[in-house]
Structure 1
Amino acid sequence: MTTYSILTIPLEEIALAETAERLPDVYFYVEQTAMADTDDTLNLWISTENPSAIGGALGSDPSVTDYERLKGSDDEYLYRITLSKEIRLVRELVHSYDGTITEVYGDADGWTLEVRFPDREKFSDLDQEFEEFGISPTYQSIESFDDSDEELMSVLTESQRRSIELAVEEGYYQVPREASLKDLATEMGISHQALSERLRRAEKQLAEEQIAGPLDDTSDQRERNV
């Protein structure tokens, strides 16, 4: 059975602790493919109410050796930064136990990783390895899924699925809304900005999945009719 876990590691054990100290409301989101690569850089989305201070915060952060702003919008900015050795270590340890990092995001409370393993035994071995390297994760959840659940998990990460489920249960999508984003964030124990980003990305994934299906079906039907 596939094992999924959501774990949080203190910023000071990985990277960007000083950036978060200077930007207390900051929210980080790593582009998913970055944690599958083997090079020393990652693409990092950064959200904060003080975007003009991002460059200064990154420039003075001892865990950042180089950074470049790639693009930005009204509420988030994409930077390419050089990976700290600690991030590389976490990534390498997960991969060495056949694990896959499906999502990485963070705020002042720490870096949160969603990881997937082919079985629970490998996950337990990784936990012991973390301890040996002085990495102290806090586990938010550890769950095992049958293969029949893999299709859902390939569309949404575990945290995205939970967020969507809670939003539906609490009436966030009702008109008028029966729960605010702040209410949901408080219940989940995360910042409202982090939840907003998570829901937005989950909604985008679900929309793309729904759109792709009908388009493919239409294409197949046209081919059959030719």
Structure 2
Amino acid sequence: MATLAEFTLPLDAFPLGVVCEEFPDATVELERVVPTADAMRQYVWVEHVPAESIATFLESQTDTAGVKLVDQVDDRTLFRYHSDSDGCGVLEALVDSDTTLLSATGTRAGWRVHVRGDVQQAVADFDERCRRAGVQPTLRDLHATVGTQPSQRTAVTDAQREALLLAYANGYYADPRETNLSELAAEVGISRQAFARRLSRGYRTLVESHLALPTADEGVS
């Protein structure tokens, strides 16, 4: 039975905790984390701090491999951030314990994270592996997903989500286009054909989930 857990973690549990140390009013929300062979790619929302200030600060960090502004809504800014891969104890704990990071929000007080394990033992393993890595998690909530109904909408996979976000961030949808499928595929280390299929399946899933025509039973309004 799947189990949901909420933990609080110290600010240095994730590398981007330095943003909250530098800007006490900032709120950092990890949108997507993609560990690769030589770097860690992260999509991260930052609130309550000017985008230029965040970009300048991140670019000044010694482990920063790249920063790009992707989107901006009011005082929320979405960045794609690359850092040199020195490892992250929490991310390694997630992988080793077979748990899924549902959300991670950081403030000056620390990180609040929500994880899901297919079984309760996975959550316990996550806690133990964090401690082995020198991170001290505090469990705030734990419950099984009893009585929940699976969504009738099909969600994009992590790989499809990464492809869609990467294409958007690099200007694939711009007019004129600022990149091509070969360049995008090279960035994630797969073939052009494989990336094109991943992008196509992501499109199809989004259309079927959110834009598909109603069935005959549902009727048309």
TM-score by length of 1: 0.60
Residue 148 of structure 2 corresponds to residue 149 of structure 1: yes
Report the alpha carbon displacement of residue 142 of structure 1 after superposing the two structures with TM.
Answer: 1.5
Q: Given that residues 89 and 135 in structure 2 are in contact (C-alpha distance below 8 angstroms), is that contact kept between their aligned partners in structure 1? A: no
CA distance in 2, matches of 1:63, 1:4: 33
What is the distance in 2 between the residues matched to 1:70 and 1:45? 10
- Shift of residue 65, structure 1, vs aligned partner: 4.0
Task: Count residues in correspondence.
Answer: 162
Q: Offset at 1:73?
A: 3.0
Task: State the 1:110 CA deviation.
Answer: 1.7
**Structure 2 regions of 5+ residues with no counterpart?**
155-208
In proportion to residue count, which structure has more strand?
2
Partner of 2:123: 123
Q: Given the alignment of the two structures, is residue 221 of structure 1 paired with residue 219 of structure 2, yes or no?
A: no
Q: Distance in 2 between matches of 1:110 and 1:117?
A: 22
Would you say the 8 A contact 1:7–1:113 is kept in 2?
A: yes
Residue equivalent to 2:5: 5
Residue aligning to 2:102: 102
Q: Distance in 2 between matches of 1:143 and 1:97?
A: 18
* Separation in structure 2 between the aligned mates of residue 221 and residue 69 of structure 1, nearest angstrom: 43
Q: Which residue of 1 aligns with 2:132?
A: 132
Query: Which 4+ runs in 1 deviate beyond 3 A?
Result: 49-52, 60-65, 83-89, 222-225
Q: Is the 8 A contact 2:27 2:47 kept in 1?
A: yes
Q: CA 1:145/1:50 → structure 2, altered by over 3 Å: closer, same or farther?
A: same
* Letter of the structure 1 residue corresponding to residue 214 of structure 2: S
Counterpart check, 1:15 vs 2:15: yes
Aligned amino acid, residue 28 of structure 2: F
Tell me which amino acid in the other structure corresponds to 2:45.
Answer: W
**In angstroms, what is the RMSD of aligned CA positions?**
3.2
SS at 1:82 equivalent = strand
- Give 1:21-40 correspondences, 5 Å limit: 21-31=21-31, 34-35=32-33, 37-39=34-36, 40=40
The one-character-per-residue Cα deviations of 1:47-101 (angstroms, maximum 9, x if unpaired) are 1144442123223345544322223232111111124657743223212222111
Unaligned runs of 5+ residues in structure 1 are 156-211
Any conservation in 1 of the 2:8–2:110 contact (CA below 8 Å)?
yes
C-alpha contact 1:16 1:64 (8 A) present in aligned 2: no
Question: 2-side partners of 1:3 and 1:140: how far apart?
Answer: 13
Task: Give the whole-Å Cα distance in 2 for the aligned partners of 1:139 and 1:86.
Answer: 26
